Chain A
Amino acid sequence: MAVAGGVGVITFRQPIRNVLSLVVVMLALSVLFLLLSAQFVFVVQVIVYAGAVMVLFLFVIALLGPARELAAGRLRFQTWLSILFVLALFGLFWAMLQGVTYRQPEQVDLNSFGSVESIAVGLFTTYLYPFELTSIMLLVAAIGAIYLSRRSDEDQ
């Protein structure tokens, strides 16, 4: 299901269909997060990604209007070269996955693993400093987006 959505992301011609396929991928991945007992990451994935980011993409598409995509690029061999490159990359991933030997999974208490409480304990004790830096980064991104998308007076 996630792979089908991913294929839809890169094959559809109209951007709105790409975005809707990406929503399918996000929801499938969120179910996988739930399977991996990551409840809080599941909730954040659904709300932030499938909700907020995708709505943002849809707004931008609605703002810009439907864009037609020309099939031929300026570089002639770009498609074939990129397919070759990507096949090599996938071969690399495959080789890495073949060589992996896993440690035996530790017996964790699944009732508390990945719950909001355990996530919060980790986030506010060990990773408090990166957490605060993340908030500053979000503030900078918001200010930058407002500055970029504001209509300057000399444009009028």
Chain B
Amino acid sequence: MSSFDVGGSQLDTSWFLLLAAVLFILGAVGVLVRRNPLVILICIELMLNAANLTLVAFSRQLGNLDGQLFALMSMTVAAAEAVVGLAILVDIFRHRDAEDIDDLSELRG
């Protein structure tokens, strides 16, 4: 019903969406469970990639190029986010050795 021809074989859009959901869930688990700030940044990248896969899959499904353009935009956003996040991390690590993100909770309101 919702399949389309990909390289001679029929592929279903649902599989791409399901894979994107699984990857997003894995990234969310990583953000919630892991304690290393660097690994948390990596997991955020994973979630952004899952969102990109959804955009491109729907773009192909609807025959509309806007999804791919949005995927490109979100890639640049992810790159900028990674750069700034890593710079903040390096700055934090330079001042003290913080291997656990719970150690960085001294900001009190």
Main secondary structure of the interface of B (DSSP, over half): helix
Contact with B along A126-149 (1 / 0, CB 8 A): 110010001001101110111011
Main secondary structure of the interface of A (DSSP, over half): helix
* Shortest beta-carbon distance from B16 to chain A in Å: 7
Chain B contact residue count (CB 8 A cutoff): 72
Q: Which residues from chain A sit less than 8 Å from chain B, CB to CB?
A: 2-3, 6-7, 9-10, 15, 18-19, 22, 25-26, 29, 32-33, 35-38, 40-41, 44-45, 48-49, 52-53, 56-57, 60-61, 63-64, 67-70, 73-75, 78-79, 82-83, 85-86, 89-90, 93-94, 97, 100, 102-108, 113-114, 118-119, 122-123, 126-127, 130, 134, 137-138, 140-142, 144-146, 148-149, 155
Q: Which residues from chain B sit less than 8 Å from chain A, CB to CB?
A: 1-2, 4, 6-7, 11, 13-14, 16-19, 21-30, 32-36, 38-39, 41-43, 45-46, 49, 52-53, 56-57, 59-63, 65-66, 68-69, 71-73, 75-84, 86-91, 93-94, 99-100, 102
